[in-house]
Structure 1
Amino acid sequence: MTTQPDPRPLFSRSLDQIGRQVAAVRPDELGNRTPCTDYDVRALLGHVVSVLRRLALAGAGTDFSEVPGVVVGIDDDGWSDAFARARDEVERVWGDDEVLDRAVDLKWATMPGRTVLDAYTHEFTIHSWDLAHATGRLADLDPDLATRALEVLPTFAPPETRSAEGTFAPVVQVPEDADTYTRLAAYTGRHP
């Protein structure tokens, strides 16, 4: 038995936040560019749904390699429902306390479930900013989630291991007094 905190409440907050962003996207915004250079809003929504599906399968100990990195084929007005269904499955699987301390294979790393949820909490936090930035809803973001992400991301993505081809590009310089989401975006290599 571990004494580490349960990561699920913070993970749930990050899903609440990105869920609000997903629900707010209008069909006419689906072609908007996002700070993720490979994604417009539609592709980013497809990536978010994909990550949830993969995370549910990984937590269940099932191979998720058949789930594409970006889910396609969702109707323009169906993203909120697709997100909700994928979230329900993630929460069902990860609601089992045993998953938190079991080794979870993500293909690129094997980690305790607690660490996996912590990492994905921060992925959904930054993708919330990506969606908010692309759709003009930055005021709707929880600064505490960004602060927490900035505290732990150096463990998951230290600046010295970055390259232009990696998951995170090199850190972008921003003013020291920049708001927390601007600093988070810059830390992950985005150009706020």
Structure 2
Amino acid sequence: MTNTATHTDPRPLYRDALTWVSELIDEVAADQLTLPTPCTEFDVRRLLGHLVATVERARVIGAGGEPATIPLVLTDIPDDGYGNAYRAATDRMWSVWNDDTLLDTEVTPPWGAVPGRGAIGGYLNETLVHGWDLAVATGQNAEAAPELAEAALSMARAMIPASPRGGDFIPFDEVVESSVDAGPTERLANWSGHSRKTSPGQ
């Protein structure tokens, strides 16, 4: 990702995205945990473990730590505990990021040193895109609030170049062409290289 970051405060958007994903997690049935998702790295269970990990990484980054100390996927969460784990991680994360000074403090997420607002923008994108993955995989409404998704899409287009992509610095697949009827959350997922074609029944 580039170091371009919005000059606004992305935390309210991130808060809304976390709430949306929390609601999606609560609706995942036990027999859906082994389903594939549009993110080919993860089935539903691993995606849930990754979603919790992203919030923990955001906390560690805000505290000045190294994100790699948190595994990419948390595997010690019981199958019926992902919702509670996600909410607990969110509470811990906000205990760090409620500090306004962090927005202009340099932090180091996996894509390189950026102001805090840039890190939150990155995790906003990841939250909504993986929320879309989860919703598509489990047959839920895959569109977040339009104003939330549109704002995140605008930020993503500024932060994530269309090309080149790949490697550790810009770890995204090629942009997917959106269908004419795609909503803003799906268009955000497509910009991040995610497609419905890898999900069940597609």
> TM-score w.r.t. structure 1 length?
0.90
Q: Select which of 159, 163, 171 maps to 2:162.
A: 159
1:58 to 52, 57, 61: 61
Question: In the alignment, does 2:83 pair up with 1:72?
Answer: no
CA contact (8 A) 1:171 1:189 kept: yes
1:164/1:111 Cα in 2 relative to 1: closer, same or farther (>3 Å)?
A: closer
> What letter matches 1:134 in structure 2?
A
**8 Å contact 1:164–1:170 — kept in the other structure?**
no
| CA pair 171-140 structure 1, distance change in 2 beyond 3 A | closer
Higher mean displacement: 85-94 or 146-155: 146-155
**Contact 1:172–1:189, Cα closer than 8 Å, also in 2:** yes
Q: CA deviation at 1:14?
A: 0.7
Q: Does 1:136 align with 2:136?
A: no
SS in structure 1 at match of 2:158: helix
Which whole-Å deviations, capped at 9, do the CAs of 1:118-169 have from their partners, x for residues lacking one?
2211211111111100111125632222212221212221112124995211
Q: Is residue 190 of structure 2 the alignment partner of residue 186 of structure 1?
A: yes
Mark the runs of 5 or more structure 1 residues left unpaired by the alignment: none
Match of 2:16 in 1: 13
Identity percentage of aligned residues? 38
Number of positions where the alignment pairs a residue of Structure 1 with one of Structure 2: 190
Preserved CA contact (<8 Å) 2:46 2:73: yes
2-structure distance, mates of 1:174, 1:74: 34
Change (3 A) 1:119 1:108: closer
Closer, same or farther: CA 140–108 of 1 in aligned 2, 3 Å: closer
Spell out the pairing of 1:102-113 with structure 2 (5 A cutoff).
102-113=105-116
Structure 2 CA distance for aligned equivalents of residues 156 and 7 of structure 1: 13
1:114 paired with 2:128, answer no
Pick one of 102, 117, 120 that aligns with 1:99.
102
Aligned to 1:169: 173
Letter matched to residue 169 of structure 1: D
User: In structure 2, the residue corresponding to 1:65 is in which secondary structure?
Assistant: helix
| 1:110 partner letter | A
Contact 2:142 2:185 in 1 (8 A): no
TM-score normalised by L of structure 2: 0.86
SS in 1 for 2:79: coil
Partners of 2:192 and 2:7 lie apart in 1 by 26
Q: What is the CA distance between 1:65 and its match in structure 2?
A: 2.2
1:181 is matched by which residue type in structure 2?
T
Deviates further, 3-12 or 78-87: 3-12
Alignment RMSD (CA, Å): 2.0
* 1:49 counterpart SS class: helix
CA gap 1:150/1:170 in 2 versus in 1, 3 angstroms: same
* Pairing partner for 2:153 from 143, 150, 154: 150
CA contact (8 A) 1:125 1:145 kept: no
Mapped pair 1:125 → 2:161: no
